[in-house]
Amino acid sequence: MSSATSSSPLDEVILRHLPDWQDQPLNLVAPPGDFRLAALTPATAGLKKRLWSADYRQLNPASQAGWTPFFVSDRQPEHLDGRSLLFWPKAKEEGYWWLQELMPRVGEGLYLLGDNKGGIKAAAKALEKAGFQLHKVDSARRCSLYYLHKDASLSLPLEPSHEVISGPDQLQLCSLPGVFSHGRVDEGSLLLIAALRESWQELPQQGRLLDIGAGGGLLGAWMLHQGSELELTACDVSGLALQATRQTLELNQLKAEVQAADIFTGLDLSKPVDLIITNPPFHTGRGTDYELASRLIREAPQHLKPGGQLWLVANRFLPYPDLLDAAFGGFKRRAETGKFTVYQAVK
């Protein structure tokens, strides 16, 4: 979350209404990662305010700005008095997951806010078709703000599913809305697993293993399932991903540490790492953004033991070879398809 006080389209819409919203607590739910909370802070100085997020990176800035933060894989609010506003996410299944969580916790209803190209209009139409009462409160800066009236007698247009899907080697995987590769096993991760299997004897078999950007927990769980004696820490910025990873480990009777972290920030790195495996994200919203993977590659040598390894799968078009050369002084391509490449770099 940016600390800049400049505003974005979403917070500009909220700022238009804050003068009339001073009489009740304000609850912001699931703001996007680039939402500028700092732009709202002066106008909410006298309000009781809460932030409920699935993004670990938003917690400290929110707390420092006077908001009470809640993280989906940790502390949940029992009741949300006042005005609640849900930022509609680009994955509609995640949006309905949030609505399912919010409906028992709010009073008469809640606000929905989203980018017009991000599915908010389609969600409003689907909710109206299901019988819910909505009215459009505002439309500005290519964003729409609705008020959704709560009706316990109605069902959501889409019931968000907590699926258990089959993975490689009889693994059972928990798949949650809003988590990477929901409802399917990602082909890039499968290519990385195939490369790791082929090179099993070259991998460290004891020591410390990091699965960075764990998603539903597939990569780390597979390593343990194969009999690796490495001590696994699976981490992600997404609280929903952490929930899915914990459930994947439980389904397969595997044990590991599951921790919220922003790449390496938030991890205890006093003990060096023997192996890092990752299928890093390269999207922010609807755009391509490989800053997270760039930081991972750049910082990995600081935390690996001499001889420690980084294994990474990525779309072929991403500019990771130059980054790996700069950070490690060299790398190998261990597997490749028309779409993906698996890279190995050794400290």
pTM confidence score? 0.93
Q: What is the mean pLDDT of residues 121-143?
A: 96
Structural domain boundaries of the chain? 9-149, 163-346
Q: Do 102 and 87 form a contact (C-beta atoms < 8 A)?
A: no
CATH class name, domain 9-149: alpha beta
Task: Please determine whether the domains at 9-149 and 163-346 fall in the same fold group of CATH.
Answer: yes
Per-residue pLDDT at 6: 59
Per-residue pLDDT at 37: 87
Residues 6+ apart with CB under 8 A from 113: 10, 13, 14, 85, 86, 87, 88, 120, 143, 144, 145, 146
Q: What is the mean pLDDT of residues 323-333?
A: 97
pLDDT tier at 317, thresholds 50, 70, 90: confident
CATH architecture assignment, domain 163-346: 3-Layer(aba) Sandwich (3.40)
* CA gyration radius, the chain: 21
Amino acid occupying residue 123: A
pLDDT of residue 2 exceeding 50, the answer is no
What mean pLDDT value characterizes the chain?
A: 93
Pairing of strands 287-288, 283-284: antiparallel
Residue with tokens 């390593």: 223
User: Which is more confidently placed, 8 or 22?
Assistant: 22
Q: What is the mean pLDDT of residues 154-175?
A: 93
User: Which is more confidently placed, 17 or 287?
Assistant: 17
